[in-house]
Structures are given as C-alpha cells and as structure tokens.
Amino acid sequence: MDFTITGKHITITDAMKEYAEEKTSRLPRFYNTVSQVEVVVDGEQTAGKIGIEIIARGEHSNVFVATEAADDAYKGIDAAVRKLEEQLRRKKTKERNNKHTGTGGGYESA
C-alpha cells in the first residue's frame, strides 16, 4: 500500500508521519482493495484548528475521503481514520449484501 503525507502551512515531523502511517495501515483490513492512502494536514484553518484530510483510493476508481478539524493533529488523524473506517465498512457490507441477491434459476426442490 502506498502512503503519502503532505503538510500545508505546517511542518510534518517524523513522529507525525509514523503515527499517521501506523493508523492508516489498518484500512485494508476493512476494505481489502485499498491501494493508496494520502494524508493532507492543513495548519491554517479557522479558530486555530488543524485540518486533516485522508484520501483512500481502491480498485475500480473507488475513492473514500474523510475530513476532520481538531486542536491537535494526532486527535484529528484518529477522528478522520475512524470516519474512513466506517465508510469502508459500509462499502464492504453493501458489496457483500448485493453479491447474492435474487432467486436465480438454480436448483428445484424435489
């Protein structure tokens, strides 16, 4: 899985990069086609908040985006990852439920 972190108006520390990479590395567990994750940290938000945006790209042009504004970058990463996990969980559930719909023309009972 490819991982990218970018900072706008803020310097990304090694600790912040490792933390974000650790948290986002769990995403393929919820939806296994996630192949690329991009984290954007924006330090110039209103009211002294730090904006976090996580973009997860999967196969078949599936793109999942979660945004969060928080006082601390680490708290923002946690909240955005939780939002993204929920999106991935819902998508996986939808795919599983739609996979075997219909009565089909299969076997008849004797």
**Residue 32, pLDDT score:** 87
Q: What is the mean pLDDT of residues 81-95?
A: 93
Report yes or no on 70 lying in a domain. Answer: yes
Report yes or no on 44 lying in a domain. Answer: yes
How many distinct structural domains can be found in the chain?
1
Higher-confidence position of 74 and 99: 74
pLDDT at 3 over 90: yes
State the CATH number of the domain containing residue 51. Answer: 3.30.160.100
Alpha-carbon distance of 17 to 53, in angstroms, equals 14
**Residue 110, pLDDT score:** 52
Report yes or no on 104 lying in a domain. Answer: no
pLDDT digits (tens, 9 = 90+) for 19-78: 999 999 999 999 888 999 999 999 887 788 999 999 999 888 899 999 999 999 999 999
Q: Residue 86 is encoded by which pair of tokens? A: 């929920």
Q: Which domain holds residue 76?
A: 2-96
Alpha-carbon distance of 20 to 73, in angstroms, equals 10
